[in-house]
Homo-oligomer: A and B are copies of this chain.
Amino acid sequence: MTIASVVDRWPDSARIFARYTLGCASCAISKSETILAGATGHGGGRVNMDELMRDLNTLADTGKLPDNLPAANATAGPGGMKMRGIGVLDGDITGPSIPRMFGVREKPMSADGKTLVPPKSRGGIPIMSMNLILPSEEEAVIWRGPMVSGAIRQFFSDVQWGELDYLIVDLPPGTSDAPLTVMQALPVDGVVLVTTPQALATMVVTKAVKLVKQLGGDIIGVVENMAYVTLPDGGRLEVFGPSQGLKLVIASNAPLMGKLPIDPAIARDADNGDIENYTSPEADELVENFMLVAPLKEPVRA
């Protein structure tokens, strides 16, 4: 998301950018520059990104926002996301893990024989995944691309998602059928890219940047996962090497929305179907930044 588009959406943010020496909010380059890129390039290295983002978030909280934009304040951990009307479509047809993470085992119901009503997580998030259709979660789906594409399309069009602010589609890595189908057949408002700090991973994710751009999509943010391990003494160990986030920010022209550590609690909560109750400062910040950059248009209706 560019500085210009932030200002366009929240005119008052121009004052905040200016306060952080980012007069570029009114300059032509702001149309192609992300908040981070602007702060890095024109702030002379003196901009405190955390403070800038916090001030922008505070602005979002004052009510000077379009009605349909969610407040981007802090309470929205993954648990809080349900308040905004979130649904999750598991686009990884042959390696689905979403239901397990949310502790959902119930099968989708069909009242009319044509559409499916997705089961909901304990927190009320409707979820659709191949694993909810299989006789058991360990059953294999040995499908070639066209079947995979068909399933994704059906999970969108034949599922009664209800009224949602955000329908999140989780995708496997790569640039083959699943992301291609989502970009071509679903009304995607924005793409969030997730990577790890390895140069190798960054190289592969750069391919995804090209896929989105070639298909006319919009990358709204980049997330660095497994960025470091927090040691028992509180120190940080960058097990995959130093951050490559800025490289992707430049390649994608989208902000770095967050860096998530390798946190044993994430693994534990995901394995236990309890991911909705996971909370951490890093996750909260990520959700805040997502709310800040994610476009909210018409509510998603099935």
Residue from B97, B142, B172, B197 in contact with A214 in the complex, judged by beta carbons closer than 8 Å = B142
Which of B94, B96, B180, B207 contacts A176, CB < 8 Å? B94
**Chain B binder among A22-30, A60-68, A114-122, A261-269:** A261-269
With A142-B211, A145-B144 in contact, is A271–B200 under 8 Å at CB? yes
Question: In the complex the two chains form, is A232's CB within 8 Å of B229's CB?
Answer: no
Verify B138–A210 contact, CB threshold 8 A.
yes
Is A146 interfacial (CB 8 A cutoff)? yes
| B-contact 0/1 string along A188-225, CB 8 Å cutoff | 00000000011110011011111100110000000000
Q: Nearest chain-B residue to A261 (Cβ)?
A: B239
Q: A203 contacts which of B100, B175, B214, B229 (Cβ < 8 Å)? A: B100
The answer, among B176, B203, B237, for a CB contact under 8 Å with A177, is: B176
A276 to B197, CA, bound (A): 21
Q: Are B204 and A95 in contact (CB under 8 A)?
A: yes
Residues of B contacting A209 in the complex (Cβ-Cβ under 8 angstroms): 140
Which A residues between 134 and 185 are near B, CB-CB below 8 angstroms? 137-146, 148-149, 172-177, 180
Known A101-B200, A200-B270, A267-B198; contact A175-B141, beta-carbon cutoff 8 A: yes
Q: Is the CB of B93 within 8 A of A176?
A: yes
Interface residue from B172, B214, B271 paired with A174 (Cβ < 8 Å):
B172
Whether the Cβ atoms of B229 and A237 lie closer than 8 Å is yes
How far in angstroms is the closest Cβ of chain B from A140?
Answer: 4
Q: Which residues of B contact A94 (CB under 8 A)?
A: 174-176, 207
A92 on interface, CB distance cutoff 8 Å? yes
Cβ 8 A contact of A142, one of B175, B235, B239: B175
Instruction: Give 1 or 0 for each of A226-238: 1 = CB within 8 Å of chain B CB.
Output: 0001011001011
Copies of this chain, how many? 2
Point out the residues of chain B lying under 8 angstroms from A142, CB to CB. 175-176, 180, 210-211, 214-215
Closest chain B residue, CB of each to CB of A212: B140
| A241 and B271 alpha carbons, distance in the complex (Å) | 9
A207 touches B174 (CB 8 A): no
Contact of B229 with A239 in the complex, beta carbons under 8 Å: yes
**Which of B92, B139, B207 is within 8 Å of A210, CB to CB?**
B139
* Distance of A143 Cα from B97 Cα, bound (Å): 24
**By the criterion CB–CB under 8 Å, are B141 and A207 in contact?**
yes
CA distance A232 to B229 in the complex (A): 12
Q: List 18 A-B contacts (CB under 8 A).
A: A94-B207, A101-B200, A138-B210, A138-B251, A139-B207, A140-B208, A140-B211, A141-B207, A142-B175, A142-B215, A144-B177, A145-B146, A198-B267, A198-B270, A200-B267, A229-B229, A229-B262, A232-B237
In addition to A138-B207, A143-B176, A229-B262, 5 A-B residue pairs with Cβ atoms within 8 Å of each other are: A95-B174, A144-B176, A172-B173, A231-B231, A239-B262
